[in-house]
């Protein structure tokens, strides 16, 4: 344990060979990102060589123990597979899954499924390319799936941010107007600023973003059956978001430290001479309450009752894979539950029946 993440198997094998001949050295990789987890397994050909290695790693001084890449290694005898499984069941695992990987499945359309019927070959090729790019990005542990921000591909060039916002507000199924925090069609930075054919939309609530995705994704009624929207939850980088937050904080500090600019004095209005009120104000009376005397004001109108939450979008034959919220929790041995960590779908190619 405590291996440097950039360590290679050959480098570790060269360190351990001084205790005896090795059968193999194997680094442990994370099943989702395929990155090293900082630990490995090594098997010697003799028991004596393994015992020498364990004893040599016990020292904790600067010149003692085994070191690789400036880090002191922890070496312990490996347990049998059955004993390791029993040890794992005793200790309840801590809740994980802050990257929302299960949302990467939402809207997935595979060739050979019912949702793929009528989709053009060009659109299916785009979907396959975007899905492969998504899997490559999610190998980085700093990348996570945003639960409220959507990325919309395959937009016509004539669709701008205003038209897209109006389209989102006019989708069926909204019980109240959705809170759209951002709606931006990406354009060229140089030249005529033409549309690049994709946009980012951020909602105030996850349920609203999920309903918009299921209504827009692969919908043949919006821009025609040959150019269907490709909608997925956006991928975000924790490092970039942290830098953005730091820039915003520095900007607030500069604003708070800058001296306030003096406000211009408003011109004082000369007092009007006393006299009869203007004609347009003569004879005006306050609204009366029904059944009351003169001079009693009407009570304020009652506020509008709050609208019910948005219902989930109805299942459409073209909308693709749908995630289920009740599949996101798993029971632990101690009686508690945690969010279930769903990895990316293992099958992304055509579905052969």
Looking at per-residue confidence, does 309 or 191 come out higher? 191
Residue 93, in any domain of the structure: no
**196 and 122 belong to one structural domain:** yes
**If you average pLDDT over residues 97-103, what whole number do you get?**
84
Q: Which residue has the higher pLDDT, 274 or 2?
A: 2
Composition of the chain by helix, strand, coil, percent to 5: 30, 20, 55
Q: How many CB atoms lie within 10 A of CB 284?
A: 7
Q: Is residue 185 part of a domain?
A: yes
Let me know whether 118 and 152 are in one domain. Answer: yes
Mean pLDDT, rounded, of the chain: 79
Tokens read off for 207: 């349920």
Same domain assignment for residues 126 and 178:
yes
Instruction: Give yes or no: residues 200 and 60 share one domain.
Output: no
CA distance 241 to 26: 35
The pTM for the full model equals 0.53
Domain-embedded: residue 105: yes
Specify the pLDDT at position 303. Answer: 47
Please check whether residue 99 is in contact with residue 338, taking contact to mean a CB–CB distance below 8 angstroms.
no
Say yes or no: 65 and 112 in one domain: no
pLDDT(184) > 80:
yes
- Structure-block tokens of residue 290: 């029904």
SS3 108: coil
- Which token pair is 245? 């937050």
Q: Cα–Cα distance between 182 and 184 in angstroms, integer? A: 6
| Number of continuous H segments (helices) and E segments (strands) in the chain | 7, 10
Q: Are residues 159 and 208 in the same domain?
A: yes
Q: Is residue 52 part of a domain?
A: yes
Q: Are residues 188 and 326 in the same domain?
A: yes
In a domain, 305, yes or no: no
Mean pLDDT of 152-178: 91
**129 pLDDT exceeds 90?**
yes
Answer whether residue 329 is part of any domain. Answer: yes
Determine the Cα angle at 131 with ends 125 and 136, to 5°.
130
The residue ranges of DSSP E strands in the chain, in sequence order, are 22-29, 36-44, 67-68, 71-72, 143-153, 180-187, 195-203, 230-237, 329-331, 337-339
Q: Clarify whether residues 212 and 137 are in a common domain.
A: yes
Query: Is 351 or 31 the better-scoring residue by pLDDT?
Result: 31
Q: Model confidence over 308-346: pLDDT tens digits?
A: 444 444 556 666 666 665 445 667 666 676 666 555 555
Is 99 in a helix, a strand, or coil?
Answer: coil
Number of domains the chain contains? 2
Structural domain boundaries enclosing 65: 9-78
pLDDT surpasses 80 at 221: yes
The residue among 63, 78, 93 that closes a domain is 78
pLDDT at position 292 is 46
Whether 59 and 111 map to the same domain: the answer is no
Least confident of 40-54, 59-73, 123-137, 244-258: 59-73
Checking if the pLDDT of 273 tops 80, the result is no
CATH number of the structural domain spanning residue 319: 3.30.70.330
Q: Which of 80-84, 154-158, 216-220, 265-269 has the lowest mean pLDDT?
A: 265-269
Q: How far is CA 142 from the centre of its chain?
A: 11
Same structural domain for residues 30 and 170? no
Same domain assignment for residues 131 and 229: yes
Considering the domain boundaries, does residue 347 fall inside one?
Answer: no
Report DSSP letters for 197-247, one per residue.
EEEEEEESSHHHHHHHHHHHTT-TTTS-TTS--EEEEEEEEHHHHHHHHHH
């Amino acid at each position: 344990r405590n291996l440097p993440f950039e360590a290679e198997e050959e480098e570790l094998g060269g360190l351990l060979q001084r205790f005896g001949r090795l059968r193999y050295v194997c680094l442990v990789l994370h099943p989702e990102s395929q990155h090293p987890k900082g630990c490995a397994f090594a098997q010697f050909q003799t028991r004596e060589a393994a015992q020498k290695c364990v004893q040599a790693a016990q020292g904790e001084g600067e010149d003692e123990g085994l070191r690789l890449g400036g880090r002191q290694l922890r070496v312990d005898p490996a347990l049998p597979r059955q004993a390791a499984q029993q040890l794992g069941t005793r200790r309840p695992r801590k809740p994980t899954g802050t990257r929302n990987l299960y949302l990467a499945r939402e809207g997935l359309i595979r060739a050979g499924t019912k949702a793929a019927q009528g989709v053009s070959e060009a659109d299916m090729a785009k979907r396959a390319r975007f899905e492969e790019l998504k899997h490559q990005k999610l190998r980085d542990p700093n990348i996570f799936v945003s639960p409220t921000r959507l990325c919309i591909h395959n937009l016509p060039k004539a669709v701008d941010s205003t038209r897209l916002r109006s389209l989102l507000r006019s989708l069926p199924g909204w019980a109240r107007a959705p809170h759209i925090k951002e709606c931006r069609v990406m354009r060229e930075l140089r030249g005529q600023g033409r549309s690049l054919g994709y946009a980012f939309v951020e909602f105030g609530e996850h349920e609203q973003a999920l309903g918009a995705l299921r209504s827009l994704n692969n919908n043949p009624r919006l821009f025609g059956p040959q150019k269907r929207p490709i909608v997925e939850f956006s991928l975000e980088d924790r490092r970039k978001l942290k830098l953005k937050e730091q820039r915003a904080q520095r900007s607030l500090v500069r604003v708070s430290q800058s001296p306030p600019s003096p406000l211009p004095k408003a011109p004082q209005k000369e007092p009007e001479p006393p006299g009869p009120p203007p004609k347009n104000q003569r004879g005006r009376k306050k609204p009366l309450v029904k059944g009351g005397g003169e001079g009693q004001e009407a009570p304020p109108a009652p506020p509008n009752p709050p609208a019910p939450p948005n219902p989930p979008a109805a299942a459409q034959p073209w909308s693709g894979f749908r995630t289920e919220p009740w599949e996101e929790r798993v029971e632990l041995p101690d009686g508690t539950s945690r969010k279930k960590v769903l990895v990316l779908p293992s099958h992304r190619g055509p579905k052969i029946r």
